[in-house]
Amino acid sequence: MKNRIYLSLLIGLAFFQYGHAQDEAAELAKKLANPIASLISVPFQNNLDHGIGSLKGSRYTLNIQPVIPIAISSNLNLISRVILPVVSQYNISGINKHESGISDIVASAFFSPTNSKNGFTWGAGPVLLFPTGTNDYLTGKKFGVGPTIVALKQTGGWTIGALWNQIWSVSGSSTREDISQMFVNPFLAYNWKSGAGLTGNLEWTQNWQSNQANVWFSPMFSGLTSFGKQKVSFAVGPKFNLAAPDEVRAKMGLRASLVLLFPK
């Protein structure tokens, strides 16, 4: 009789731990789908684009994108998001030409309500462009500023929203073209309780100076795991260059990301 009681207790404990782990994974996945969630994370986004332009060039871009939320008050958070691109490209600027190094940094700061209402939340603030490129082909040599905003709705396992920003150059090299660039990023995600999910991102960059658009679509599969005590998210999927000028359009692309998570 005692053995049966112990067995029942062990089974009950196992189910409790499994349910708790699923709840934790679901909550982390929900925060990951929200660009302005109160979650410290360090994404490493790897992009490989191939068949670019008439020279069929290739480009590898590693975007290091730390996200740090700061509580300003009981009702307001400040979420900083930085994108540091590390680039290596071949046959882009010319035949057998190779450039590599750091490209220009984009930093955003979103002021966002601490609590969402009916699953809806938003954030707005400034976006800054820093001419940190270490190679002439990887920088616009301009300092830029502008506004940025994000809004999203979460219900069940679904997240739907969009991020927008507009950057104008305000100083920099007089030998380079002024910058007037818009970025629009609608996104849709569904996450299961296990933390696994499917996402779709549309990334539209509009250069108002040349009146040219570059549009990518990236469907991805994601999951959650742990390396010891370190929580990690991973995602992988193809990239499709839906629209771009002929000289920069890519035939195919691949994206894979690894995100270090630091939940409170």
User: Per residue of the chain (264 residues), what is the pLDDT tens digit?
Assistant: 555 555 555 554 434 443 444 567 889 899 989 999 989 999 999 999 999 999 999 999 999 999 999 999 999 999 999 999 999 999 999 999 999 999 999 999 999 999 888 999 999 999 999 999 999 999 999 999 999 999 999 999 999 999 999 999 999 999 999 999 999 999 999 999 999 999 999 999 999 999 999 999 999 999 999 999 999 999 999 999 999 999 999 999 999 999 999 987
CATH of the domain at 251: 2.40.160.40
| Structural domains counted in the chain | 1
Q: Tokens standing for 95?
A: 């035949």
Domain hosting 242: range is 2-262
* pTM passes above 0.95: no
